[in-house]
Amino acid sequence: MKTVADRLFQAERIHDGRDWHRDAVLRVRGDRVVGIEPAQAGAEAMPGCIVPGLVDLQVNGGGGVMLNDAPTAETLATIVAAHERFGTTGLMATLITDRPEVTEAAIEAVAAVDLPGLLGLHLEGPHIALARKGTHDPALIRPMEARDLSLLLSAARRLPHLMVTLAPESVTVAQVAALADAGVVVSLGHSDCDLGTAQAYAEAGARMVTHLYNAMSQLGHRAPGLVGAALSDGRLAAGLIADGFHVDDAALGIALRGKAGPAGMFLVSDAMATVGSPIRGFQLNGRQILRGAGRLTLADGTLAGADIALVDAVRHCRTALGLPLEAALALATTAPAAALGVADRGHLRPGAQADFLCLGPDTRALATVVGGERVA
């Protein structure tokens, strides 16, 4: 058997996901981290500081394409490559509510490809609530039926990870329990459910809440809603879109300070086709999405996903909320990896996949390494 030579990467500082290391090198063997050691000769100099690769659980598109448009291996490769340029080294390709045949094609595509940066498939809909549809096509929203459940249970056996955003209005407690038992990550979202209903679905096995505050029942002092469930129930991890548009900065801070554990908050990009592309707009289910002033909207002004990569959310948390770099990074590395149940991503301790990015002082990606190989 051929011996793989170790590679050493050196930067001004190295963050292992927990601690900072100075005058050190990151030792990589093949696609795995061996450890962080004192500085030594023969290391490859990297710009900025080395930090764990970002993990994004909600990526709808990138590089000018959407998964909904053409759920193929080529589309997935384009999306992954677009986000790698910005330091995202593990992502869940996300399909927004669509026709059954498109869902099936997305499952087949993710099952067939071998992309180190692709963690699995996130199906956001179609089993959500019309009252909280957001940008989802109302004509495609529907209750979960037996054949839908069967398809998802089968997909869970074939995919590395399957995440499904659904609403109690369209899915029963028994169906959620069956999905959770099969290893599907069930996330509550696009729902008007009350606190008690959300807690019942958490008891059945739901583990997350999708893009907190957006497209859900809000926090009232007598009716806490799904927002209240996400913040008060330690079983539910919750994603946040930190782009300055989807959630007010004050509400971001309240969520980060008020979340009950052990499940925590994590950042998502909710990125669309525009990330890593100069396009000024695109089509989603036959409707035009407009790009302007950092936002993506339908013609009526409804927000339609986000025009950011995950590193932009990290930077926003630093500049708008004043979070220390390591705290902002945790929201995009260790926290989403833990929420998904992935032990070898989001950190650079021994045994982790050798995925990292190099950050400049302005919290922008200068270089990206996936599996020990530089990709951007």
Report the C-alpha gap between 243 and 309 in whole angstroms.
9
**171: Cα separation from own chain's centroid:** 23
Report the C-alpha gap between 363 and 317 in whole angstroms.
10
Comparing CA positions, the residue from 110, 120, 6 lying closest to residue 350 is: 6
Question: Residue 21: in which H helix or E strand, if any?
Answer: strand 20-22
Structure tokens at 1: 């058997």
Report the C-alpha gap between 193 and 216 in whole angstroms.
8
Contact by Cβ (8 Å): 190, 180: no
Report the C-alpha gap between 147 and 168 in whole angstroms.
18
Report the C-alpha gap between 199 and 219 in whole angstroms.
15
Task: Tell me if residue 249 is catalytic.
Answer: no
Count of residues in the chain: 376
Q: Which of 56, 98, 137, 270 is catalytic?
A: 270
Contact by Cβ (8 Å): 113, 76: yes
Catalytic positions, please?
270
